Structure 1
Amino acid sequence: MDELPIGRRVAYWRGRRKMSQQVFADRLGKSKSWVDKVERGVRRLDKFSVVYEIADVLQLDVQLLLGREPERRPDSISCIDQIEVEEIRAALERYDCISAFFDAAPQPPPVPEIRKAVSHAWLTYQHAKYGVLARALPKLLRDAQAADTAHGSGDQAPEAAHLLGQVYQIASSALRKLGEHELSWLAADRSIAVSQRAGDPLLAGVATYRVGNALLALGRARPALEVNVNIANRLAPGNGDEASPQRLSVYGMLLLQGAMAAARIGDSATVRDLLHGADEAARALGGDHNHYWTSFGPTNVQLHRAAAAVELGEGRYAVETHETIDHEGFASLLPERRAHHLLDIARGYTQLGDVEKASEMLLEGDRLAPAEIRCRPIAHEVMSDVLRRTRGTPPAPIAELAEHMGVGV
């Protein structure tokens, strides 16, 4: 990108923002012809004021338009910035497995080393350290891809594929939270294919609900519902050894994600059925666990019950569900899961018009996992709603949090 003319960079980022030339021109107060000439290099951008206007419309750091590396802001250190997104994209765009047909595959780190790095990345994600994770993901993707290619036909092939499948899932989850939905879908889709090569149906099941999450984020609620329920039915535990804790966890999470998709399309009957099935699986599991990094168990079922109610517009039921959640079980969950729930409940309170309680939930979530509140687009929407409904000057803690989030008071 750095070597491209500025007009080409404008065209690239306009495309990334899914703006037509006409929409872009309207927002700039220019003609479509003017935009076309700039992007083709016929017209020069020789006024910094215009470059800054373009950057503002594209919601972009002006340094990226100028082909320079943006300065990292101290208050956004825990979020993924545009440089890191592009580095993750570049790692996902590598096709070394094809190149290996013609040249020797690059020597990857030892599989045990990658296994350790993958476990660390999962914990980093579940503690909502998104900035740390973003800086580690490109290298982890390259290493895991190289290991999968190098061990493609050896004894370590299944484990190498398993680890790569997990890395794709971590990337998908982090990218989805931060609004990069198409990249999230791509990473999740890659994970399904790799998981099948790993020979692990449960890993493929987890990859499926990552795909469902990405589809839901893209506004594809019905396909998300169908893919989650379809694979859940295939993994439904039977009698005896099939009802392992790992299988119950993956099966239960597929039902929970299906319930969220059903809530998005307003199908409350299906929501109830899927939550009931997940509740039965959680009871059979006998507690909250983190098998296959799912954080599945009775407490997480309750969290999804509240989240589904918010999606259905039933804020009061969401709040009532929140008030019945077992405190000890909730405290045992990892920070990302707890802060995510508090964000959902903040949304529930805004549906009730209770701005004060919504503010409390945002502040509590920020204390638990700042990146979950400060970095997620949905959290920015909730904060904007809170500020809009606040009479007079907002309380100092909310005003300060809004400033950190970059949301105008």
Structure 2
Amino acid sequence: MPQWSDYSNGERIKILRGADLRQTDLAEMTGLSVVTIQKAEQDRALSLPTLLKIASALSVDTSVILGQQAPRRAMVRDDRTALRLLSTTVHDTASGYLPEGAEPVPIADLGEATRVAWDLYWSGDYQRLVGVLGPLLVDAAVTVSAMTGDSRLAAAGYLSDAYQIAACTANLLGARDLAYAAVGHSRSAAQRADEPLRLARVTSARSWVYLRDGRLREALELCEQAAATVEPRYSDASAERLTVYGNLLTHCAVNAARMEDEDRAGDYLSQVHAVGARLGVEHDFHGARFGPVTAVAQAVGVNVTIGRVGKALKLAGSVGRGQLGTLSDAARNRYGLDVAMAQADAKMYDAALDTLEETLTAAPQWARHQALPGVIVQKVGRASTGRLRRVADLIGVRPGVEGGFLPATPKTAL
């Protein structure tokens, strides 16, 4: 499969433009003539002003068009545009650059907007999420600066949530620098809000950023320290505290599994199940959902990671479809991928493809940003032909080819 640098500048422009954006559309977006766009895509002419205008319209850095760096995995044009807008809003609000004449909003409105933003995040609708998250960041920042007393504390809490959602979104889309910046702003706002449980939630998000950046030991230490600070006592075992604590223990188990520390991962899973049983039902708090079903779903993924495939499948067999409905969309989809991976490891290839296809069809936008589907397709290999090609088409890879996030031909959109 060609590397991104193997294409010409014109081919890279054509790929980034994709089938949904015509040359006439790109000409209108850039203010350039159609002839200029055609020449650029034919490698007949690409001046610096033209390059800058095309890169801006396609929401990429000029280095991507020049082949110096590849576009982020599974990032279509709308994703790139959303990420750029999110980055601008995060940095502007954190630096105090707020719109002139902006006024504080009622705390109840901030709370409702935050709930909507979390729902969009967990549903995997990242483009709509940015449309909500941008105004939320501005409104919360303006309200914090204008309020005093309890209202200021409450607004700071919602500002922390908004930055945390931004950090998680950026982390998922591979914008690591933005994720680090946003989670730092989230922590500062949570400290201002003076809410230990909210601060612990931010720590779990920070741990996830570390995890995806390969800083496994530091990620685990963060989770362990935060879990120790919010561990429920007999005098304070509220559903909120149990939810945050269970969420942190889950992060500990995942990090230990990634470090190939099976005993430690197993110990944390035992605690995760115990906390889930103690809650009895799924509970939401500051964007986290935890309970007995979440505990089992997470345990499936951890057991797959540490190679206990039989145990993972046994746990999956204990979860009914009705129970899966209590999970968030993202958690349910991730569970589907974990089950498909376990089935592939157990050489249950047809079952793995069934599970994978069902998950990809149910959540195509979310699945675009996941690496696991490609891994599963590679593992199944040539065990199935027609069905394998159909599933591979859903994630844009070719069976038997590592990494295939680039198109097979320049005419195919990323």
Q: How would you bin the TM-score normalised by the shorter chain? A: 0.7 to 0.9
Q: By how many angstroms is 1:200 displaced?
A: 0.7
- Per the alignment, residue 146 of structure 1 pairs with 142
CA gap of 1:187–1:308, structure 2 versus 1, over 3 A, is same
The amino acid of 2:219's aligned partner reads A
User: Whole-Å Cα distance in 2 between the matches of residues 393 and 154 of structure 1?
Assistant: 64
Deviations 1:161-212 (A, max 9, x none): 0001111122222222233333223222221221111111111111110111
- Contact kept, 8 Å, 1:289 with 1:295, in 2: the verdict is yes
1:223 maps to 2:218: yes
The amino acid of 1:229's aligned partner reads E
- Per the alignment, residue 203 of structure 1 pairs with 198
The amino acid of 2:338's aligned partner reads D
1:163 maps to 2:158: yes
- Contact kept, 8 Å, 2:337 with 2:356, in 1: the verdict is yes
- Per the alignment, residue 178 of structure 1 pairs with 173
- Contact kept, 8 Å, 1:164 with 1:191, in 2: the verdict is yes
1:112 maps to 2:108: yes
The amino acid of 1:66's aligned partner reads I
**Secondary structure of the structure 1 residue equivalent to 2:286:** helix
CA gap of 1:188–1:355, structure 2 versus 1, over 3 A, is farther
1:290 maps to 2:288: no
Once the two structures are aligned, what percentage of the paired residues are identical? 24
User: Whole-Å Cα distance in 2 between the matches of residues 217 and 192 of structure 1?
Assistant: 19
User: Whole-Å Cα distance in 2 between the matches of residues 64 and 329 of structure 1?
Assistant: 51
Q: By how many angstroms is 1:216 displaced?
A: 0.4
Corresponding residue pairs, total: 355
- Per the alignment, residue 66 of structure 1 pairs with 54
- Per the alignment, residue 86 of structure 1 pairs with 84
User: Whole-Å Cα distance in 2 between the matches of residues 354 and 213 of structure 1?
Assistant: 31
- Per the alignment, residue 42 of structure 1 pairs with none
User: Whole-Å Cα distance in 2 between the matches of residues 318 and 310 of structure 1?
Assistant: 6
User: Whole-Å Cα distance in 1 between the matches of residues 224 and 125 of structure 2?
Assistant: 31
- Per the alignment, residue 305 of structure 1 pairs with 299
Q: By how many angstroms is 1:49 displaced?
A: 4.5
Correspondences of 1:269-280 after superposition (within 5 Å): 269-280=263-274
User: Whole-Å Cα distance in 1 between the matches of residues 354 and 76 of structure 2?
Assistant: 21
- Per the alignment, residue 67 of structure 2 pairs with none
- Contact kept, 8 Å, 1:96 with 1:146, in 2: the verdict is no
- Contact kept, 8 Å, 1:288 with 1:297, in 2: the verdict is yes
Q: By how many angstroms is 1:387 displaced?
A: 7.1
- Per the alignment, residue 57 of structure 1 pairs with none
- Contact kept, 8 Å, 2:153 with 2:193, in 1: the verdict is yes
Higher mean alpha-carbon deviation, 341-350 vs 386-395, is at 386-395
Q: By how many angstroms is 1:344 displaced?
A: 1.9
Deviations 1:73-100 (A, max 9, x none): xxx9999611111111111111566568
Normalised to the residue count of structure 1, the TM-score between the two structures is 0.76
Deviations 1:194-239 (A, max 9, x none): 1111111111111110111111011111111000011101111111
Unaligned 5+ residue runs, structure 1? 1-22, 31-45, 54-61
User: Whole-Å Cα distance in 1 between the matches of residues 44 and 227 of structure 2?
Assistant: 50
User: Whole-Å Cα distance in 2 between the matches of residues 287 and 217 of structure 1?
Assistant: 29
CA gap of 1:197–1:311, structure 2 versus 1, over 3 A, is same
Q: By how many angstroms is 1:331 displaced?
A: 2.3
1:122 maps to 2:118: yes
User: Whole-Å Cα distance in 2 between the matches of residues 27 and 398 of structure 1?
Assistant: 27
CA-based RMSD of the aligned residues comes to 3.5
- Per the alignment, residue 360 of structure 2 pairs with 366
- Per the alignment, residue 381 of structure 1 pairs with 374
Higher mean alpha-carbon deviation, 105-114 vs 275-284, is at 105-114
**Secondary structure of the structure 2 residue equivalent to 1:356:** helix
CA gap of 1:176–1:350, structure 2 versus 1, over 3 A, is farther
Q: By how many angstroms is 1:338 displaced?
A: 0.5
**Secondary structure of the structure 2 residue equivalent to 1:358:** helix
**Secondary structure of the structure 1 residue equivalent to 2:386:** coil
**Secondary structure of the structure 2 residue equivalent to 1:66:** helix
Deviations 1:42-65 (A, max 9, x none): xxxx85455999xxxxxxxx9877
CA gap of 1:50–1:233, structure 2 versus 1, over 3 A, is farther
- Contact kept, 8 Å, 1:141 with 1:168, in 2: the verdict is yes
CA gap of 1:213–1:289, structure 2 versus 1, over 3 A, is same
Q: By how many angstroms is 1:67 displaced?
A: 3.8
Deviations 1:69-128 (A, max 9, x none): 239xxxx9999611111111111111566568xx98842333322221111111122222
The amino acid of 1:69's aligned partner reads A
**Secondary structure of the structure 2 residue equivalent to 1:239:** coil
Relative contact order: is structure 1 or structure 2 higher (C-alpha 8 Å, sep ≥ 6)?
2
The amino acid of 1:376's aligned partner reads H
**Secondary structure of the structure 2 residue equivalent to 1:275:** helix
User: Whole-Å Cα distance in 2 between the matches of residues 161 and 209 of structure 1?
Assistant: 18
The amino acid of 1:287's aligned partner reads V
- Contact kept, 8 Å, 2:304 with 2:341, in 1: the verdict is yes
- Contact kept, 8 Å, 1:383 with 1:402, in 2: the verdict is no
**Secondary structure of the structure 2 residue equivalent to 1:81:** helix
